[in-house]
């Protein structure tokens, strides 16, 4: 209680959806109410809700039973950046800085802290809002597992589980028809999902953005497998994988977004090239948004609950401008400036790269 009035906090979920967000909303809301008698306001559709002044009070009953649900009950937006907000101008779209509107909304709501749940883009915006005077606490969220300052993000385990199931299912059809099967997974410009699901699913070739590949070398690898009696090859490719000296495959450009490039389609390009070079049939399978959907794994439910609870502890301690994080297996925190520093990619000599190579996986280099 402050000045005899009930303390209020707000929470928003930005960027792409992923399993476990609702578990965070639940943990923040329940702990804030049960332990601190706070009022919790849910901001609708990420930062869009701050610009459009769209929000609602979250009660204990509102968040009961949502831990098993995928998605986010508050909605999200990948294009709503208050510092580069799409505004219709003379029949077109112009990106403008409307951050003052967002800051005014926070102040008008009278909240003592804004909890921002999202990846490096969302947390980068949160860091700018903090510098502009908004008390902020961040919670790292992304299936890509690429937020700096934390060893893992919730949503990643669920995505790897789904991607691995896809790779598992591809094995039987690859074996039956003696094909090259390429499974494309998400990850943006980081290869964590491809690396983990490639190892777990027994991928023969794993392609990640951090290691540019040589298509002709992959073709020779496939032919060598064929000469040894291995009549099929499973390739697990990150959407951001790129050939040596080349660039990623861009599926779409969204002009209204602050991050306009949408990656995807490398599996189809690679399938055509390998089919031509090897004479074998090659097929591409795009896992796509399946990796974002459905209920979170038990691991992600537990992790999201821990992070949501820790976020309330930061608020209670008035430790603003930080995000909750996991390092060396312990829940801790890190400055938002670290998360705003760009994506966390796979280090060149990461132990999992060595594990994959030592068990026969090839990275196309």
Q: Which residue has the tokens 């399993």?
A: 19
**Residue 45: DSSP 8-state:** T
- Paired with 331 in beta bridges are 326
Report the sign of the C-alpha dihedral through residues 187, 288, 354, 334, in that order: positive
Tokens representing 235 are 């390739």
Separation CA 344–CA 332 (nearest Å):
18
- For the four alpha carbons of 319, 322, 325 and 328, in that order, the dihedral sign comes to negative
* DSSP H helix total and E strand total for the chain: 12, 15
Rg of the chain taking only CA atoms, in angstroms: 22
Catalytic residue, candidates 48, 120, 144, 204 = 144
CB 257 within 8 A of CB 79: yes
Handedness of CA 326, 288, 193, 15 (dihedral sign): negative
Give the angle subtended at the CA of 203 by the CAs of 201 and 206, to the nearest 5°: 125
In the annotation, is 157 catalytic? no
Angle, helices 351-358/192-200, rounded to nearest 10 degrees: 30
Residues acting as catalytic residues: 144
């Amino acid at each position: 209680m402050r000045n005899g009035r009930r303390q209020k906090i707000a929470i928003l979920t930005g960027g792409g959806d992923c399993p476990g967000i609702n578990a965070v909303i639940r943990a923040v809301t329940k702990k804030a109410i049960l332990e601190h008698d706070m009022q919790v306001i849910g901001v609708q559709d990420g930062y869009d809700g701050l610009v459009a002044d769209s929000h609602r009070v979250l009660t204990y009953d509102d968040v009961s039973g949502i831990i098993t649900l995928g998605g986010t009950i508050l909605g999200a937006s990948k294009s709503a950046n208050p510092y580069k907000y799409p505004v219709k101008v003379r029949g077109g779209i112009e990106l403008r800085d409307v951050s003052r509107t967002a800051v005014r909304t926070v102040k008008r709501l009278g909240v003592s802290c804004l909890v921002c749940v999202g990846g490096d883009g969302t947390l980068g915006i949160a860091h700018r809002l903090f510098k502009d005077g908004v008390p902020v606490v961040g919670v790292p969220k992304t299936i890509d597992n690429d937020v700096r300052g934390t060893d893992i993000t919730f949503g990643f385990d669920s995505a790897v589980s789904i991607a691995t199931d896809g790779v598992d299912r591809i094995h039987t059809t690859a074996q039956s028809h003696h094909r090259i099967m390429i499974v494309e997974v998400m990850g943006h410009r980081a290869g964590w999902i491809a690396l983990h699901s490639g190892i777990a699913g027994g991928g023969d070739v794993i392609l990640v953005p951090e290691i540019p590949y040589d298509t002709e070398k992959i073709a020779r690898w496939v032919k060598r497998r064929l000469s040894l009696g291995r009549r099929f090859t499973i390739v697990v490719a990150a959407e951001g994988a790129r050939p040596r000296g080349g660039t990623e495959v861009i599926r779409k450009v969204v002009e209204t977004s602050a991050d306009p490039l949408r990656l995807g389609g490398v599996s189809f390009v690679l399938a055509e090239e390998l089919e031509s070079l090897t004479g074998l049939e090659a097929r591409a399978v795009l896992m796509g948004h399946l990796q974002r959907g459905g209920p979170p794994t038990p691991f992600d439910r537990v992790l999201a609950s821990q992070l949501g609870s820790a976020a309330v502890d930061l608020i209670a301690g008035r430790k603003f401008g930080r995000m909750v994080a996991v390092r060396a297996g312990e829940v801790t925190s890190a400055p938002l400036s670290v998360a705003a520093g760009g994506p966390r990619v796979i280090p060149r000599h990461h132990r999992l790269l060595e594990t994959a190579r030592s068990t026969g996986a090839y990275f196309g280099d």
